Structure 1
Amino acid sequence: MRIAVTGATGRLGSRVAQRLATAGVDLRLLVRDPARAPRLPGAAVARASYADGAAARAALAGTPVVFMVSAAETPDRVDQHRTFVDAAVAAGVEHVVYVSFLGAGPDATFTLARDHWATEAHIRASGLAFTFLRDSLYADFLPQMVGPDGVLRGPAGQGRVAVVAQDDIADLAAAVLRDPARHAGATHDVTGPEALTLDEVADVMSRATGRPVSYHAETVDEAYRSRAAYGAPAWQVDAWVSTYTAIAAGELAAVSDAVPRITGHPATPLAEVLARAPAG
């Protein structure tokens, strides 16, 4: 069975592609720039983007299962996703495994989780078999959320978040893709092993990295003011701030058993994720 992997040059897609290649799967890697595609045994490379329906349709021909990583964050991301899903239907794809977000819904506090819900809705309406992987916040990205002064700032209050390792998501996705019929119609919440406050996150980061990290619970107004200097568009700042307000609202506090249940190994604690990260 051939499997198409989108986002194969990215952090998650490349991990999934590597695992499938190691397992001897017949792969087709869909990338915007073939020169950047990983060189993997048994993998063909096709140029395609979510916004180019014709190219996506050609790239997906003869491929029954697709791993769909969400497109880069842009105001038209949902439109790009719809174009790609429609191309998948036209190409004869049978099953889409889509990387969504925990708590995806039309009224989710995290603004981009609403995009994921809209994409899920389009996939459901397309008639394709589907599996949704609703990932929590990536544990791997937490160091990037800390300022140069060692402060993690945001209006998360004392809410909790069960951050998840990208390696765990990749292990789970590869298992699902190798047996998609077993997971048809399923929505898997994919989280780490425990829900932490950002004070606890800062403490774990301090001990794991040797760099003092603290958490400052901003107000929402403070959060918008502190991010104004970046000059980002309003929709992007809304997404940044609502990452934290979703934590404050309790929408990222769930701890699921999907990682151990599907992969056969326990979910990775934050301290271990940080210990594995390259220095610098």
Structure 2
Amino acid sequence: MAKVLITGATGNVGTEVIKSLQNIDHKLDIYAGVRNSNEDRIKLSAYKLNFSIFDFTDVKTYKTALTDCEVLFLLRPPQISEVEKYFKPIIDTCKENGVKHVVFLSVQGVEKSKIIPHYKIEKLIIDSKIPYTFLRPAYFMQNFTTTLHNDLVNRKRIYLPAGNAKFTLVDVRDIGVVSATILTNISEHINKSYDLTCKEKLTFGEMAKILSSNLGTDIQYISPNLISFFLTKRRETTPTMFILVMILLHYFPRFQKEPVTTNWVEKITNRQPTTFEQFIIENKKTLTE
């Protein structure tokens, strides 16, 4: 059986990839790359899989985890941006260990944003000559159950410097199904790149209205200037680097060309992508407490 290593296995995307693989009949040997074997085994105890110690911040764990690995599912943890320090050794180790394919979770619009880490990681993979598949998802709907959750639930607001910029969206569960489909049929996706979106393009003002309507409470959208946003987030003890990432994600799209919606989720999975309203209805409890 071909060994497949899933990095970030206990995170939002990694867990959905593993979950989706359980629903497909395949002959892959799935390994979850985890930092803490005992803790993470418990988190993933519902799934049939193996475990490898893999820590992005510990280069020594790369070689063992990638031994005999044929396919690597690679993502970038939000807190890690030093591509040369961490991702170059990962790709070098892939080459040394004979990894045959890398599926990398990138981001939509990466080809136009040379300053973001994803662009540099994609280039590393291309330069390595290892066959690849790049998944370039739109804005995660699950940001409302994670990063934006506190403001949404406790202040009934979306507080972001995004102005009236339009955003494409995608449900992380759809990314999981796309990833699992590709991992179990890798030969059809060699050196391909896929932008993953639902069929909607919304401003945060429009998202606030849809949230209000479905949650039965008034959600306000406030678009502060950058100084106000930065100072507010620092008062909330948000790390400076993460604030800068939030600015990159939400402020700069105001000055860029509108992103496009695609039908890759439907083409790859043979099912319609989740709509933003569907996501809210299915996650209503989490979005209100």
Q: CA deviation at 1:239?
A: 1.0
Q: Distance in 2 between matches of 1:246 and 1:274?
A: 26
C-alpha contact 1:136 1:252 (8 A) present in aligned 2: no
Q: CA deviation at 1:213?
A: 0.6
Q: CA deviation at 1:53?
A: 3.3
- Which among 112, 123, 126 is matched to residue 124 of structure 1? 126
> What SS does the corresponding residue of 1:163 show, helix, strand or coil?
strand
- Which is worse superposed, 79-88 or 244-253? 244-253
> What SS does the corresponding residue of 1:73 show, helix, strand or coil?
coil
Please report the TM-score for the alignment, with normalisation by the length of structure 2.
0.88
- Which among 11, 19, 26 is matched to residue 29 of structure 2? 26
| C-alpha distance after superposition, 1:39-71 (max 9, x if no partner) | 366522111112333422222222211111212
Q: CA deviation at 1:150?
A: 1.2
Q: CA deviation at 1:258?
A: 1.0
Amino acid at match of 1:57: K
Q: Distance in 2 between matches of 1:17 and 1:252?
A: 32
What pairs with 1:37-52 in structure 2 (closer than 5 Å)? 37=41, 38-39=44-45, 42-52=48-58
Q: CA deviation at 1:129?
A: 0.6
Q: Distance in 2 between matches of 1:251 and 1:121?
A: 23
Q: Does 1:141 align with 2:143?
A: yes
> What SS does the corresponding residue of 1:140 show, helix, strand or coil?
helix
C-alpha contact 1:191 1:256 (8 A) present in aligned 2: yes
Q: CA deviation at 1:254?
A: 1.8
Which structure 2 residue ranges, 5 or more long, are not aligned? none
Which structure 1 residue ranges, 5 or more long, are not aligned? none
Q: CA deviation at 1:77?
A: 5.4
What pairs with 1:83-102 in structure 2 (closer than 5 Å)? 83-102=89-108
- Which among 227, 234, 247 is matched to residue 228 of structure 1? 234
C-alpha contact 1:65 1:93 (8 A) present in aligned 2: yes
C-alpha change, 1:178 and 1:57, in structure 2 (3 Å) is same
| C-alpha distance after superposition, 1:104-158 (max 9, x if no partner) | 14746xx6xx111111111111121111111111101125426232121222121
- Aligned CA RMSD, in angstroms, stands at 2.1
- Which among 239, 245, 264 is matched to residue 245 of structure 2? 239
Question: What count of residue pairs does the alignment treat as equivalent?
Answer: 276
Q: Could you tell me which residue of structure 2 aligns to residue 174 of structure 1?
A: 180
Q: Distance in 2 between matches of 1:86 and 1:276?
A: 41
> What SS does the corresponding residue of 2:106 show, helix, strand or coil?
strand
Q: CA deviation at 1:74?
A: 3.2
Q: Distance in 2 between matches of 1:186 and 1:61?
A: 25
Q: CA deviation at 1:22?
A: 3.4
C-alpha change, 1:264 and 1:191, in structure 2 (3 Å) is same
C-alpha change, 1:21 and 1:62, in structure 2 (3 Å) is farther
Q: Distance in 2 between matches of 1:42 and 1:231?
A: 38
C-alpha contact 2:83 2:120 (8 A) present in aligned 1: no
Q: Could you tell me which residue of structure 1 aligns to residue 169 of structure 2?
A: 163
Q: Does 1:215 align with 2:221?
A: yes
Amino acid at match of 1:65: V
Q: CA deviation at 1:72?
A: 3.8
Q: Distance in 1 between matches of 2:197 and 2:52?
A: 32
C-alpha change, 1:75 and 1:233, in structure 2 (3 Å) is farther
- Which among 271, 279, 282 is matched to residue 276 of structure 1? 282
What pairs with 1:187-226 in structure 2 (closer than 5 Å)? 187-226=193-232
Q: Distance in 1 between matches of 2:136 and 2:201?
A: 16
Q: CA deviation at 1:217?
A: 2.2
Amino acid at match of 2:70: P
Q: Distance in 2 between matches of 1:224 and 1:48?
A: 33
Amino acid at match of 1:176: I
